[in-house]
Amino acid sequence: MRRLFLALAALCTLAPAALQAQQAATLPRPSRLTALETGDQSRGWDAVGRINIGKRSFCTGALISPTLVLTAGHCLFDKATGQRVAPAQMEFLAGWRNGRAAAYRAVKRAVLHPDYVYTAREDIAEVNYDLALLELARPIRLPSITPFATGASPRRGDSVGVVSYAEHRAEVPSLQKSCQVVGRKASVAVMTCNVDFGSSGAPVFSLRDGIARVVAVISAKAKMKDTPVALGIALDGPLQILRAALARADGSRFEKAPSPGLAMHDTLRAGGAKFVRP
């Protein structure tokens, strides 16, 4: 508990009291979550999907090419055993909403950031490399599902948005249009976004010029004093390393990212999405 609190204070380079004062004085309150319950509400967001892991847990992921899903590294591990989950036990449900998905795809391959080491400890150090790519067995090429482009990592003070699934809202994705980056340290971004169990791997978006770009991936939730925060891994650097790792594993040239643009399961629980508890 205390070690986590101190780590978060160091990440933000502000004492908790100073951070809260700064938030109250200069930062707008995060927007509320909006459930994307209808086709109209979810239009443009169907490249975000639920990743079912075995029969008991799930995470969130985002399509960044017709065959690649970006998510958190710890989603590839069974929390009870500490062992890697076989790709055959994972399925990506693009645009999952109220019992149906816009596309269902099996996972062919899963690649972790080379520096990521999974442990059962709730340790802030895990967040630095908590990134993975899932290669789908078949590409998703549908007019209604446009893979997201990626963008520059968020800086402190930036406004970002998140689309995620979570415990108690596992059947419909939720959009938070605006939350703030309140700290950065290396690849870790500390944000005021509303996340919960199951939100691991959720894409964090910049919404500049009317285009949604993935700039970070949710890894954990925590509290800094009385302020709930989300921890994410920013993509600059880590994603390029992960792309190179996938290319080496495949023995072929890596597929280019898309051009910028956005135009059984009821029994699942979010227990596999490991978060740092306050």
Contact yes or no for 224/8 (Cβ under 8 A): yes
Q: What is the CATH number of the domain that holds 48?
A: 2.40.10.10
- The rounded distance, in Å, linking the Cα atoms of 190 and 168 is 24
Q: Has residue 10 got a pLDDT over 60?
A: no
Check residues 237 and 250 and name the one with the higher pLDDT.
237
For the chain, what's the residue count? Answer: 278
Domain count, the chain: 1
User: Which run of H or E residues covers position 45?
Assistant: none
Name the pLDDT band for 208 (thresholds 50, 70, 90).
confident
- Is 161 part of a structural domain of the chain? yes
DSSP 8-state secondary structure symbol assigned to residue 259: P
Q: Has residue 231 got a pLDDT over 90?
A: yes
Q: Where are the beta strands (DSSP E) in 82-166?
A: 90-94, 103-112, 132-136, 149-150, 159-166
- Is 115 part of a structural domain of the chain? yes
Q: Has residue 7 got a pLDDT over 50?
A: no
Domain region containing 50: 2-272
111-124 pLDDT per residue, tens? 999 989 887 666 66
- Is 233 part of a structural domain of the chain? yes
130-164 pLDDT per residue, tens? 999 999 999 999 999 999 999 998 999 999 999 99
| Statement: the pTM of the whole predicted model exceeds 0.85 | no
- Is 278 part of a structural domain of the chain? no
pLDDT for position 213? 95
The whole-chain average pLDDT of the chain stands at 81
What is the token pair recorded at 205?
């978006």
